[in-house]
Amino acid sequence: MSEPVVAATPGTEPVVKTKAQLKAERRAIQEAQRAAKQAQKEQQGQGGGGKPKQQQQPQQKQQQQQPAGKGKPVADNKTAVKSQQQEPVKPPDGCGRVEILSHLKLYDRTIPPTQALSFTSSKVHPAFVKLGVQMARDIVVGSNARCAALICAVKTFIADYKCPKTKEIRSHLNIALKPCFTYLSQCRMMCVSMENFIKHIKLQITKSSPELTESEAREELLEACEDFFKENIYLAGKSITEKAVNRIVNGDTILIFKKSQLILHILLEAKAQNKEFKVMVVDSRPDLSGVSSCERLTAAGIPCSYVYINSCTYIMKKVTKVMLAADALLANGYVLGPVGTAMIGLIANTYNKPVIVCCETYKFCERVQTDSILYNELADPDSMLKTLNAEESPVAGWRESPNTRLVNLVYDTTPPALVSIVITEIAELPCSSAPVVLRRGAVKM
């Protein structure tokens, strides 16, 4: 405890104060002095003409910053890039937010992603600008396709990259890539596969030897990008296809959801092995990507049926297997997939139908989640107004109604209890083995 101190002035009675009170008074006096000095500097700066002291202070600051290699122009550029690209995306005017989803970003699709970029001073590579526009306009969709496009953009950036003579490539390259990754996240939220590749390439850059020349380090990093694509996307998909085809037998009726390049490749490979089976494509609005899946399968000679997700309960009696794709497998075994995946898994579990999830191990994530609210992506709500017959939607004027909100979620989470098995390039595993695969990946790195 602080001992009391007697403070008195002539002509007044002594006042007993503790050391904490005296310390607080001294701190208040110091803060008042600092505020007065700051106000005085601002007044002198606005008055112009500057005194010799005002001219010496900026010169002293520049001299202190120059030896460390961090001049004032560099700092200003970094600040400009941060303020330019890390500002939160504002929702469109008149677009009400649901309180429970207020923490999720809602991108304004009416504004071009490149509007905030300065093409004379921007540090975003043109390959990333192109990819950002494609992601924002849903030209590049699917976790594998988006990750492959990111790998191509990073390879183009590294091929064009030139390291300053006073810098090391393993420290400067990460700094140069940061505004590019920030720009992509402002165009659309990155999926788990893209986040895992970014972690991988940053680790490879950090591990590069300082003894290598710039050209040697560039070749090493380009090879690392190529190996990541080959091992985790191409060869992994090929291995999963071989394992999943063995699960398909003659007379099967397989249910798939929307469009997945991996699931389509499995079914086409099974057809190539002369297996006789039927496919039921379940689709949902607003993208209706299952139409493309149905067209591709019927073109290969596979009998298909196409239904909406609200008819899933009716057709589940005729199904023998359910094959689903995943955007990520979380550490607690939950499957992150397109919205509607959890509903199909629940219906299949009710009818005692096996649910087979196909997922590459590079999509495994250390995040733990049990709901679709904490982590998700909000798509354009106006896309839900589209109708097949081009008629006006009954909720077309939802922005004018104060009590109407449209929510277009991209993902949902499926509990591990609803999943029979997960087929990966390593083996056929239960969802509970996700932490083991994550530890294996950490040791491998």
In tens, the pLDDT along 84-114 reads: 444 444 445 445 568 888 888 887 777 777 7
Output the furthest CA–CA distance in the chain (Å, rounded): 109
CA distances to 262, 286, 384, 387, 389 from 392, in Å: 35, 15, 12, 7, 9
Arithmetic mean of pLDDT over the chain: 83
Residue 46: pLDDT band (50, 70, 90) is: low
**What tokens appear for 112 in the block?**
């071009």
Residue 60: pLDDT over 50: no
**In the predicted model, what is the mean pLDDT of residues 324-339?**
95
Residue 51: pLDDT band (50, 70, 90) is: very low
Residues 159-215: tens digit of each pLDDT: 999 988 888 888 899 999 999 999 999 889 999 999 999 999 999 999 988 888 889
* Centroid of chain to Cα 175: 19
**For the whole model, what pTM was predicted?**
0.76
**pLDDT at 403 (0 to 100):** 81
Q: Phi/psi zone of residue 389: left (φ > 0), alpha (ψ -120 to 50 degrees), beta?
A: alpha
**pLDDT at 72 (0 to 100):** 41
Residues 207-245: tens digit of each pLDDT: 988 888 889 999 999 999 999 999 999 999 999 999 999
**pLDDT at 66 (0 to 100):** 47
**What tokens appear for 330 in the block?**
């979380």
* Highest mean pLDDT (candidates 99-113, 351-365, 398-412): 351-365
Angle made by CA atoms 366, 370, 373, in degrees to the nearest 5: 100
Q: Where are the alpha helices (DSSP H) in 230-302?
A: 235-245, 261-272, 290-299
